[in-house]
Structure 1
Amino acid sequence: MADPSPDVRAETTSKIAAQYDRKFPRMTEAERKLAEEIFRRMARDAEVLVREALAANLKATPDLPRDLAVALAKDVDSVSLPVLKYSEVLTDDDLIEILRSENAAAKQVAIAQRPTVSTAVADALIDTGNETAVARLVANEGAELTEAALGRVMTEYTGSEAVAESMARRPSLPATISEHLVSAMAKKLESYLVSKHDLPADAAANLILQTRERATVSLLSRGAQGADLEELVFQIHVNGRLTPTLIIRALCVGDIAFFEAAMARLANVPMKNAKKLIHDGGDLGLRSIYEKARMPERLFSAVRAAVQICGEGEYDGGRNDRERFVARIIERLLTQFEDPASKMTQDDIDYLMNKLRQLAA
């Protein structure tokens, strides 16, 4: 009262706020009620410095009255941002209302960085068109992002390097989103190689194709199964990326499930029928679906050998088991090619061995 300056009011606010915590009670209930009225007065203080002190000290208080938390969250950025980022008192409806308010760019970024972000708030953030906020949202491991939400991000923020980088760094992504991201990055890299390094377009395209297929096979190893795997295969197919080399690359590292789904998609047969044809115990079923899928004839021997090896057992779990699996396939093929009955020309053998070396690389 002797010195009612903004600095003193801010200091007083900080001191009272420091005592206001139910976890470490230092006030009686009556004193707490009085403190809350003081906070409400300070929240209307004309001096921003006072309101900043209030927000900084109460931002993570779990039992702060909601009306006070909302008032601070709607204040100028220097007051609102700490509360928006940390307060557990604010509801999803409160946050969504603030996200949709005018001149809320900084507030949107703060909300995107909350320890947890619900699916409803995440969807509202994506709607804002705020590239920085969406990049922070995607990078936030505490954000509940559905596959549909991630798909929207990939579609609506396709030109944003910040969003793409955050997406790539996210520790867990659905296989369909990962594949889409791999393809998008591959296109950018191909353009860069041609424009910056004078690499012929055909050479760049071939290099990127191999790199993209390796990346796709790598993400398949994370275990997409059932409907998720079929959805992934469908996405790859409709985008023109379900190539024979990708299918054989996956098969030659032991991913029989992807091979089955790919054959079913390309041959346009139900999955259960595709499995029966592939594993019917002879060549007729496999050859039938292989031809219906319009796969290259010169690679059929490799496919048959890989299917047989896959049927003999899983990986042994040892070091470099994928590399050893590919080596077994090459060894098996070399043995088969020595048989005159294989009916493969030297050109076919050279072509196939070149492809298998690429797979093993």
Structure 2
Amino acid sequence: MAGSLSAEDVKRLMEDPSVDNRAETATKVASRFGDGKLSDNERALAQDIFRIMVRDVEERVRVALAENLKAAPNIPKDVAVSLAEDVSDAVALPIIQFSEALSDEELIAIIRTQSVDRQVAVASRTDVSEAVADTLVEEGDKRAVVTLVSNDEVSLSEGTLNKVVDQYGDDVEVQSPLVHRSQLPLNIAERLVTKLSEDLQHHLVTHHELGNETATDLILQARERATISLVTAGADEHDVETLVRQLHTNKRLTPSIILRSLSVGDLAFFETSLAVMGGIPLNNARILIHDEGELGFKSLFSKAGLPKQLFGAFQTAVSLVRDAEGERYDGNPDEQMRRMLEHILTVHEDIVDEYGGENVEYLLAKFNALAQEGQANQA
């Protein structure tokens, strides 16, 4: 509302203290305060009026004050805190969700001591610090956590996201908004794949004629395909390395997942995998893999602990990826993967002859079993 705060405003408030007049005055004074056009004297007078009105017995007056001050810059700290702690949600929620006057400490106190609706209001803010987000995840109600991970305006740290997965990774209500966030670190996405796979395993075992071992085999295959799909072309090198190291630490960096990466043309994942498994710098691994002779590649393959019987298949896969560089493929990635793997196995019929199998998935499972046998023999 235009104009300066006048003595008439104060006079009306004093002479006609009806609820309607108090609410109208609260709206008028608060909106003018929010405009930032008051003189120092007018601002001081407005603040005194606010301190009176936050104690008004009529909710409508306090609501008018909160709604018009929620986005106002530089409102007095004591006024903001009083409104945020009001017994009425209609008064408190606008301030909790929108006011920049509340500190992290005050927001954390709200999470710990006030209602679920107020926790949700904190989670709905456009700026939520890591400390506040962590408190919501660790101490807040699940509804507040769902709101937080659904709030794409807030940048959640990897540490906070890990806590969400730790505490709610198996909860479908949290999984869905988490998966649909516009930005999700690769290693968090990979952890979610694992969680989703566990849900799928439970469904298979409880709804179909499948034993636990069969269900687990199917889950591992689905997990590997889903994990590879996380690493898109042009993915950040650091993110790829983080994902590979996490897979390696959790003993999920298998020969089949590495071969799958090659089958969709992902040299970066393959190179990083051999570097991590071989314990050498990535640039060194690239030089050895792409050396014109096969000696360097074969030495790294062996150092990485991959089965020597599979070297030819991987060598063919690398060659096929090199030949296909620059070509665009718009088809189904799963179909691309299957065709390339079948092509590799056609070239290397000795693998099929030795390990048998009627399909690609069966042979990939055999590859993993072979690697596990080799590791057991080395132990």
TM-score by length of 1: 0.83
1:218 aligned to 2:229? yes
* Aligned positions, number: 350
Tell me whether 1:22 sits opposite 2:32 in the alignment. Answer: no
CA distance in 2 between counterparts of 1:21 and 1:60 reads 7
Separation (CA, whole Å) in 2 of partners of 1:353 and 1:99? 52
1:91 aligns with 2:80: no
Which one of 79, 100, 114 corresponds to residue 68 of structure 1?
A: 79
Which ranges of 4 or more aligned residues in structure 1 deviate by more than 6 Å?
Answer: 355-358
1:163-202 counterparts in 2 under 5 A?
Answer: 163-202=174-213
Q: Structure 1 residue 46 and structure 2 residue 33: aligned?
A: no
The correspondence of residues 102-117 of structure 1 with structure 2, limited to 5 A, is: 102-117=113-128
- CA apart distance, 1:79: 1.7
CA 1:352 to 1:289, structure 2 compared with 1: closer, same or farther past 3 Å? Answer: farther
The answer for the alignment partner of 2:373 in structure 1 is none
Contact 1:112 1:125 in 2 (8 A): yes
Amino acid across the alignment from 2:256: T
2:296 to 285, 288, 297: 285
| 1:228 alignment partner AA | D
- Deviation, structure 1 residue 146: 1.4
Hey, what does 2:247 align to over in structure 1?
236
Further displaced range: 154-163 or 314-323: 314-323
Alignment partner of 1:55 is 2:66: yes
Q: Select 2:353's aligned residue among 333, 341, 346.
A: 346
1:49 counterpart letter in structure 2: R
CA distances 1:85-139 after superposition (whole Å, capped 9, x unpaired): 1112333343334334x23533222111101222333233334243222221122
TM-score with structure 2 length normalisation? 0.79
How has the CA–CA distance of structure 1 residues 321 and 210 changed in structure 2, closer, same or farther, with 3 Å as cutoff? closer
Task: Report if aligned partners of 2:111, 2:140 keep a CA contact under 8 Å in 1.
Answer: no
Unaligned 5+ segments in structure 1 are: none
CA distance in 2, matches of 1:268, 1:134: 39
Matches within 5 A, 1:247-262: 247-262=258-273
- Is the CA contact (8 Å cut-off) linking 2:104 and 2:132 kept in structure 1? yes
Distance across 2 between alignment mates of 1:86 and 1:182:
35
Name the aligned partner's letter for residue 287 of structure 2.
K
Give me the whole-angstrom Cα distance separating, in 2, the residues matched to 1:107 and 1:222: 42
Please give the alpha-carbon distance, in whole angstroms, between the structure 2 residues aligned to 1:129 and 1:332.
52
Q: Distance in 2 between matches of 1:84 and 1:103?
A: 11
Provide the rounded CA distance (Å) in 2 between the counterparts of 1:319 and 1:222. 13
User: Which residue does the alignment assign to 2:93?
Assistant: 81
Question: Residue type matched to 2:103 in 1?
Answer: T
Identity %: 42
What is the CA–CA distance in structure 2 between the aligned matches of 1:357 and 1:215, rounded to whole Å? 15
CA spacing shift, 1:164–1:353, aligned 2, 3 Å: closer
Give the distance between the partners of 1:346 and 1:301, measured in 2 at CA.
Answer: 14
